Structure 1
Amino acid sequence: MRAGLRFVRRATTPWDRAVLALAWSGAVAGIVAAFGGGSPGARAEIIVGGEVVETVDLSRERTLEVDGPLGTSHLEVGDGGIRFVPPSPAPRKIDLRAGWQREAGDSAACVPNEVMVRVTGEEQEAWDAVNY
């Protein structure tokens, strides 16, 4: 370890090390800005078959049952978020793995049952792509 530090000190100038430190701190700040916490959501839209069927307040804890083509999807609202909970009508149960959706722009879906939840906040964020 010390040999490596000696090599760095001999191979670089103090200005080189300053530039490297600035570059690393800029990279860390960029990652935090890109993946850091977004604005908390206030409401969630429940969408079935492409149409919004209900808008729920995320500050009020409750459970919901939403009917889709395959059966009933179950949703839990609490702790400022919303999530799919068992039982799920989907064959592979991928919707249950999505977890809590809390920040504006977050979404989860039970694709086979055509049920989706989308968290909205004070300002609506535009989607340019949706992937999971």
Structure 2
Amino acid sequence: MKAWLRFLRRATTPWDRTVLALVWVGAITGTVAAYGGGAPGARAEIVAGGEVVETVSLGEERELTVEGPLGTSHLRVRDGGIRFVPPSPAPRKIDLRAGWQRRVGDTAACVPNEVLVRVVGNRERPWDAINY
């Protein structure tokens, strides 16, 4: 490690090291600003079959059921978040592993049952696409 520092000191000037440090700080700040989490969501839209079937407040605790082609999907709203809970009609139960959705722009889906949950608020993130 000391050899690396000696090389860095010989190969660069103090001005070069200052610019390098500023670039690193800018990169870290930009990454945190872009991906560091959005604002907490105020409500969640529940979409079934391509249409919004219900909008729920994330501030109240409740259980929901949504009908889809495979059966009934179950959702739980608690502590400012929403998630899929058992039992799930999906064969592989991937929707149950999505976890709590709390921030604006967060989404979870039960694709085989055509049920989607998205958290919305005052400010939406301009995503082009979401891969899951």
TM > 0.5 between the two?
A: yes
Letter in 2 for 1:18: T
The match for 1:93 is 93
Residue-by-residue CA offset, 1:19-60 (whole Å, 9 max, x unaligned): 110110111011101111211110101111011111111000
Question: Does residue 108 of structure 2 align to residue 108 of structure 1?
Answer: yes
**Deviant stretches of 4+, over 6 Å:** none
- What TM-score do the two structures reach when normalised by structure 2? 0.94
Offset of residue 123 of structure 1: 3.3
The match for 1:52 is 52
| Alignment gaps of 5+ in structure 1 | none
Alpha-carbon spacing, 1:23–1:126, altered in 2? closer, same or farther (3 Å): closer
Alpha-carbon spacing, 1:126–1:35, altered in 2? closer, same or farther (3 Å): closer
Offset of residue 18 of structure 1: 0.4
Alpha-carbon spacing, 1:92–1:101, altered in 2? closer, same or farther (3 Å): same
| Alignment gaps of 5+ in structure 2 | none
Alpha-carbon spacing, 1:28–1:88, altered in 2? closer, same or farther (3 Å): same
Question: Does residue 69 of structure 2 align to residue 69 of structure 1?
Answer: yes
CA distance in 1, matches of 2:69, 2:122: 32
* Residue aligned with 2:76, SS: strand
Alignment of structure 1 residues 1-132 onto 2, 5 Å:
1-132=1-132
Q: Using the aligned pairs only, state the percent identity.
A: 76
- What TM-score do the two structures reach when normalised by structure 1? 0.94
Letter in 1 for 2:16: D
Letter in 1 for 2:71: G
